[in-house]
Structure 1
Amino acid sequence: MGTSAAPVRLTAPPESPAEDYPHSPVARKRENSVSPRTVFSPYARLFAVPGSPSFSFAGWIGRLPAPMLGLGAVLLVEGETGSYGMAGAVSGTLALSYGLAGPQWARAMDRRGQSRVLRLAMAAFALTGVAFVASVVAGGPRWSWFLLAALAGASGPNVGSLVRARWSAVLDPTSRQTAYAFEAVVDEVVFVVGPPLVTLLATLIAPPVGFLTGVAFGVAGGLWLAAQTGTEPPVHPVDPTAIGRRRSVLTPTLLVVVVTYLAVGTVFGAIDVVVIGFAEEQGATALSGLALAVFAGGSLVAGLVYGLARVPGTLAVRFVGTAVAFGLAAQTLWVVGSLPMLIVCGFLAGLTIAPVLVSGTSLVESRVAPGVLTESLAWTITGLTLGVTAGSALAGAAVDAWGAERAFAVPALAGGLAALLALAGAVLLRAPEPAVGWATAPARVEDDITG
Structure 2
Amino acid sequence: MSPRTIFSPYVRLFAVPGSSAFSFAGWLARLPMPILGLGAVLLVEGETGSYGLAGAVAGTLAMAMSLASPQWARVMDRRGQSGVLQVAFAGYLVFGIAFVAAVSVGAPQWSWFVFAGLTGASGPNVGSVVRARWAGALDPDSRQTAFAFESVVDEVVFVIGPPLVTLLATLINPPVGFLTGVVIGFCGGIWLSRLRDTEPPVEPVEVDAPRRRPVLRNVTVLLVAIVYLAVGCVFGAMDVVVVAYAEAEGAPALAGLALAVYAFGSLVAGLAYGVVHLPGSLGARFIGCAVFFAVAAQLLFAVDSLVSLVPVGFVAGLAIAPVLVAGTSLVESRVPRSALTEALTWVVTGVTVGVTMGSAVAGAAVDAWGAETAFAVPAVAAAVAGVLALAGGRLLRGPAVPSVELPQEGARVADRKAG
TM over 0.5: yes
Equivalent residues in 2 for 1:87-102 (5 A)? 87-102=54-69
Identify the match of residue 381 of structure 1 among 348, 366, 372.
Answer: 348
Change (3 A) 1:377 1:440: farther
Q: Is 2:221 the counterpart of 1:254?
A: yes
Q: How many residues align?
A: 409
Q: Is 2:184 the counterpart of 1:213?
A: no
Identify the match of residue 277 of structure 1 among 221, 231, 244.
Answer: 244
Counterpart AA for 2:103: V
Partner residue of 2:412?
A: 441
Contact 1:272 1:292 in 2 (8 A): yes
Partner residue of 2:267?
A: 300
Q: Give the match's secondary structure for 1:180.
A: helix
Contact 1:327 1:415 in 2 (8 A): yes
Partner residue of 2:394?
A: 427
Counterpart AA for 1:387: G
Deviation of 1:94 after TM superposition, in Å, equals: 0.2
Identify the match of residue 197 of structure 1 among 142, 164, 178.
Answer: 164
Deviation of 1:264 after TM superposition, in Å, equals: 0.2
Deviation of 1:296 after TM superposition, in Å, equals: 0.4
Partner residue of 1:163?
A: 130
Q: Is 2:108 the counterpart of 1:137?
A: no
Structure 1 gap segments, 5+ residues each: 1-33, 443-451
Structure 2 gap segments, 5+ residues each: 414-419
Calculate the aligned-residue CA RMSD, in Å: 1.4
Cα distance in 1 between the residues matched to 2:239 and 2:263: 12
Counterpart AA for 1:128: F
Contact 2:333 2:402 in 1 (8 A): no
Counterpart AA for 1:315: L
Change (3 A) 1:393 1:248: closer
Counterpart AA for 1:133: V
Q: Give the match's secondary structure for 1:202.
A: helix
Q: Is 2:362 the counterpart of 1:395?
A: yes
Q: Give the match's secondary structure for 2:253.
A: helix
Partner residue of 1:338?
A: 305
Counterpart AA for 2:325: V
Deviations along 1:387-413, one digit per CA (max 9) or x if unpaired, are: 000000000000000000000000000
Partner residue of 1:113?
A: 80
Deviation of 1:37 after TM superposition, in Å, equals: 1.3
Q: Give the match's secondary structure for 1:194.
A: helix
Identify the match of residue 21 of structure 2 among 19, 33, 54.
Answer: 54
Partner residue of 2:71?
A: 104
Q: Share of identical aligned residues, percent?
A: 66
Q: Is 2:325 the counterpart of 1:358?
A: yes
Deviation of 1:243 after TM superposition, in Å, equals: 4.0
Cα distance in 2 between the residues matched to 1:239 and 1:67: 41
Cα distance in 2 between the residues matched to 1:394 and 1:45: 43
Deviations along 1:211-259, one digit per CA (max 9) or x if unpaired, are: 0000011100001100100000111255554445234553000011000
Q: Is 2:212 the counterpart of 1:245?
A: yes
Deviation of 1:36 after TM superposition, in Å, equals: 1.5
Deviations along 1:432-451, one digit per CA (max 9) or x if unpaired, are: 36427789639xxxxxxxxx
Partner residue of 2:417?
A: none
Change (3 A) 1:240 1:421: farther
Deviations along 1:329-379, one digit per CA (max 9) or x if unpaired, are: 110001111001111110000000000000000000000124100000000
Cα distance in 2 between the residues matched to 1:243 and 1:270: 43
Contact 1:78 1:87 in 2 (8 A): yes
Q: Is 2:382 the counterpart of 1:415?
A: yes
Deviation of 1:38 after TM superposition, in Å, equals: 1.7
